[in-house]
Amino acid sequence: MRAFLASSIGVATAAALALPLALSSTALAHPAAVTGSAAPSAPAGSTQSLPLVPVGPAADRTPGVPGMSTSPRLPETRGLSAREVKTFSLVGVVWDDASTHLDGRVQVRTRSVATSAWSEWQEVDTHNSEHAADPDTVERSSGRVRGSTAPLWVGQSDGIEVRVQAEPGGRVVSSGLPTGMRIELVDPGDSTHAQPDGKNGSTSEEAAPDHPATPADDEKGELALLPGMTMEMTESSSANVPMAPLGANEIPDLNKADSTADAVLADSRLEAAAAPYIGPRPRIVTRKGWGADESLREKTFVYTNTVKAAFVHHTASGNNYACKDAPAVLRSLYRYHVVSSGWRDIGYNFAVDKCGTVYEGRAGGVAKAVLGAHTMGFNTDSMGVAVIGTFASTAPPKAAVDAVARLTAWKLGLFGADPRAKTTLRSGGGNLFAKGSNVRLNVISGHRDGFATECPGRRLYTQLPPTRTASAKLQGRP
């Protein structure tokens, strides 16, 4: 077992900044603030938050950071020298003021637990502010929200080195990099609910009893707790009853006829439609199925009036994950959104992995109009679907694109929306449209349609036109 040397927060000496590129495990320091269990790879997950410190002249820096200037006269550089840390699987950088942009370049390299080898330098996507609650909302103005980069999934690692350099001529060049910059190292923990080999969501008797539990299952009409479930878990799960029993790890798929009948049973207003165009419901892994720690999020659910549009995203967290790891990636994203970025819950309403498995995102019920934090300015009356991965230059897997079509055919159909049509949303404020303006958008849009961003990546964005057609066909539209 590797030696583990702990030190207090903020201890950063010149010697620590000048450590060589290849380090022995016994020579690594660990200045970390840990949120969660103190034990490495804790079942509940944990977050290590380490301050990024000014990097000195070129002679004091680890060489070989591609694209980074070594001139001390050029823009501010902060970083973290190579060191051993507790096990983590996802990284991101946060800073104090969510309204401040990070105009610069963020690069990390990590040491694998499995091989003890250091990775090459990897780029972290710095454009993440557009994935957030709308301005002037309760969630945005909570006082807990931080600026943040996109998270990067690196797999189980126990070593980290970071370099951040301001971009010459950027919007914040006069003041350099944002204040309070920290690297967040997220351990997703373990989950007894996530099944191996892509079979996420158990149908065991423990997870899904023979007699479905209901939200009012005790003598007082209050939520009854199943064994091993907290009140927060029960409330989250009850939002999906009767589509699945209380405590279920997944919501089963339904054919088109049964999906329509199920929707009409749940909402009598749909009976007025002569032929409701509701697509077949896909199988959805619940929050319990992917192991969400319900104690992290805010307790209440927030809803909007309807779902008029679906915004498609990529998580920009990289493609280096196996489908069996998708629940762990989600647990990491969730923890990064809530603990590191200060959001009330994970930002997306749904996530889709590279094998086409659909996951419940923000709590409140998969069939309901849950307010997300995915497309700044257009979270109201919309839903956010994130494909796990980065698709700027890599084509999204067909299974994932097909899953987006199935999910939107069902969810948009519940609210009478035609995937091929356009709709009007009122802007809540962003960098493309003034607050209060009415904006005409495709019912299935990419994130970049509502905000100046690369998301969902060029290669995924080009798949949206055929996705609209496939979604409408699944709805049975002529």
DSSP string across 239-301: TTTTTS-TT-SEE----HHHHHHHHHHH-GGGGGSSS---PPPPPEE-HHHHT--TTSS-SS-
What span, in angstroms and rounded, lies between the C-alpha atoms of 176 and 73? 12
Tens digit of each residue's pLDDT (9 = 90 or more) over 383-405: 999 999 999 999 999 999 999 99
Beta carbons of 55 and 79 less than 8 angstroms apart? yes
Q: What is the pLDDT of residue 138?
A: 79
pLDDT digits (tens, 9 = 90+) for 320-336: 999 999 999 999 999 99
> Among residues 129, 455, 130, 458, which one has the least CA distance to residue 314?
455
Spatial neighbors of 257 by CB under 8 A, at least 6 apart, are none
Average pLDDT, the chain: 81
pLDDT at 187 over 90: yes
Q: What is the pTM of this model?
A: 0.84
3-state helix, strand, coil in the chain (%, to 5): 20, 25, 60
Quote the tokens at residue 70.
């070594």
d(CA 361, CA 11): 38
Segment 51-71 mean pLDDT:
61
Q: At 453, is the pLDDT very low, low, confident or very high (cuts 50, 70, 90)?
A: confident
Q: Name the band, by pLDDT with cuts 50, 70 and 90, for residue 414.
A: very high
Q: Is residue 21 predicted with pLDDT exceeding 60?
A: no
Segment 67-72 shows an average pLDDT of: 52
Per-residue pLDDT tens over the stretch 148-162: 999 999 999 999 999
Which helix (H) or strand (E) is 413 found in, with range?
A: helix 398-414
Confidence of residue 76 (pLDDT cuts 50, 70, 90): confident
What pLDDT is attached to residue 445? 97
User: How many CB atoms sit inside 10 A of residue 326's CB?
Assistant: 23
Query: What pLDDT shows up at residue 359?
Result: 98
Q: What pLDDT does residue 206 have?
A: 33
Over the range 434-457, which residues count as b (16 or more CB within 10 Å of their CB) and which as e? eeeeebebbbbbbbbbbbebbbbb
Task: Supply the pLDDT for residue 73.
Answer: 52
pLDDT level of residue 128 (50, 70, 90 thresholds): low
How far, in Å, CA of 350 to CA of 93, rounded? 24
2-11, 179-188, 429-438: the lowest-pLDDT one: 2-11
30-34, 150-154, 366-370, 466-470: segment of lowest average pLDDT: 30-34
What pLDDT score was predicted for residue 50? 98
Q: Quick check: 263 pLDDT over 50?
A: yes
